[in-house]
Structure 1
């Protein structure tokens, strides 16, 4: 029976995903909510959330290549093709794109450290929900979730069983318990400010600037629909 997807098909899907525009920021129109989001961003760092949800990582080489030299064994490798397909993640494809540094590197504002952590314990085992060992990784370890689209991607949790950002924060345990407890110790308006900040991190329409207001986003979506280009977050 022939393969359902050819090597070319898989390559096309890979390139499509790699070339997608990155998320950005949607700032509240309301001045009070915008001020709360700004305060929430500072509080997010102050209570230690950025220890793992790092606001930015540096990509030394902004050029994406397929096949990639980091492809694991058993996958297509650069030596398997005459010439890899490459493009610059900071210059090619629809915006918003990764920011380019003066020395030619790229800034990835993904709010992750791309490391595995244990964020569950006996007192709160909610995130200890994996049952199958994969690639010898302990079942209680998970990569730090990227938050750069968290305002668009409810529900939350590994199983999608948490409906709000606050619920997701309050189920952080294990290595993340200190940050959770600092969040719980905040005044209610400060907790709400952190959530307001996180809600600004959203998926944007292709071609949008990296930062827009709520009214600007509505206008961008209206124009796309008027041009027959539907878009949903």
Structure 2
């Protein structure tokens, strides 16, 4: 691990946190554990930097069986689930394990980035049917690796949008009770509409017109389907699925009654503070940016491509920017699901994502504009004629097979290939595959001249990871 200064090293050791070693005679990725409860409260300055450095080291660590890697009798399921029989092989591409390190897949164009087709993973339906040994799409969905740059800002946007939507629901119920009349309220936050909620005077709520979000109105901004609430949940899931490192807060005694749920001889393989360090590093990854060193001719074509992007309707879902009110990131977050610690259940930490939002503009209200080119909403993007994105056979968390969350396009110029399976080599192919809710925009794109389409592609290719 590289420390930023002697002070950082002193602070790390004084807090009893992890130390990594190049000891030739020890094959562990970690020599000492990060103690649960370490780095509590509000983190800033050197203390925060050390915690982030620890997270980066965990993200890039190549965990070994000496660390507890492997899940001999545990499945890849989100809900702790025992295997019916011991796994025939420690590593396999089917239900995992399939990687020693987070950085094995999140690597392009640099650590924290995306993965190409060779890094695809297989996700079983519902995350709880695990003893399969085939890549047949009847048993698993094949998924490409998304990049994580700007992920902390995405999670903060999702938290604020969730709070707005749930406040609308509460207000509608209060007004319905007060007036004795049915109340219809539009569910809209940050300029994105999620349908309508209907509240009755007796307290009943009609959710049939809610769209693009779960009926609990929680925005889940991660994974291709928009089904993961937080970086914390994502990290716990991935540590078990890909590395066989079981997080204590989900697989330990609190939930399962066992310290060694997978039966590999190692108790409490990855602790609460270690997950928190992973979250802190991911949350601070900077927002992707734009190429700005174009000559006059290319700049003119890119500007034309950006104009066409809005004109044909791409920006109605791939919104250039959404406003955020606060950069303060609390871990654990306010709306995580069971199996992930929540505020007050472990050690609470807070820090500001100042570096992640460096140089981002503000609107006239003083809000930071997050240039995600997305809307954190699910859409149906396949139909009978154009079904390139409708190639999965299994629903995930009750989200229809042809429904996906809008992919954020920031960084798209650095993260080929494209599509949730990573099987589209060009942006043109990805646009051409849009059906369903995106069909009109796709058709309008194809109606333009080859040069105009190239201008639009050129604009997208300026959206890069710095």
TM-score, normalised relative to structure 1: 0.80
Q: Give the deviation of 1:30 after TM superposition.
A: 2.9
Q: Distance in 1 between matches of 2:330 and 2:356?
A: 17
Q: Distance in 2 between matches of 1:179 and 1:36?
A: 20
Structure 2 equivalent of residue 176 of structure 1: 438
1:187 equivalent to 2:446? Answer no
Detail structure 1 runs of 4+ shifted over 6 Å in the superposition.
Answer: none
1:172-218 Cα offsets, whole Å, 9 max, x none, are 111111001100111111111101110000000xxxxxxxxxxxxxx
Q: 2:332 aligns with which of 62, 67, 70?
A: 67
Structure 2 equivalent of residue 41 of structure 1: 306
Q: Distance in 1 between matches of 2:278 and 2:391?
A: 30
Q: Give the deviation of 1:88 after TM superposition.
A: 2.1
TM-score, normalised relative to structure 2: 0.41
1:118-144 Cα offsets, whole Å, 9 max, x none, are 111111221012232222111211000
CA distance 1:97–1:12, change in 2 (3 Å)? farther
Greater relative contact order (Cα < 8 A, sep 6+) = 1
> 1:150, 1:199 within 8 Å by CA — same for their partners in 2?
yes
Structure 2 gap segments, 5+ residues each? 1-259, 261-266
1:150 equivalent to 2:437? Answer no
Equivalent position SS for 2:297: helix
Aligned residue-pair number: 201
1:162-181 Cα offsets, whole Å, 9 max, x none, are 00111111111111110011
Q: Distance in 1 between matches of 2:296 and 2:269?
A: 53
Structure 2 equivalent of residue 107 of structure 1: 369
Q: Distance in 2 between matches of 1:27 and 1:43?
A: 19
Q: Give the deviation of 1:94 after TM superposition.
A: 5.8
Q: Distance in 1 between matches of 2:268 and 2:399?
A: 29
Equivalent position SS for 2:422: coil
1:126 equivalent to 2:388? Answer yes
Q: Distance in 2 between matches of 1:4 and 1:37?
A: 49
CA distance 1:148–1:130, change in 2 (3 Å)? same
Q: Give the deviation of 1:64 after TM superposition.
A: 1.1
Q: 1:139 aligns with which of 401, 405, 417?
A: 401
Structure 2 equivalent of residue 24 of structure 1: 289
Q: Give the deviation of 1:73 after TM superposition.
A: 2.5
Q: Distance in 2 between matches of 1:17 and 1:97?
A: 19
Equivalent position SS for 1:78: coil
1:200 equivalent to 2:466? Answer no
Structure 1 gap segments, 5+ residues each? 205-233
Q: Distance in 2 between matches of 1:65 and 1:106?
A: 18
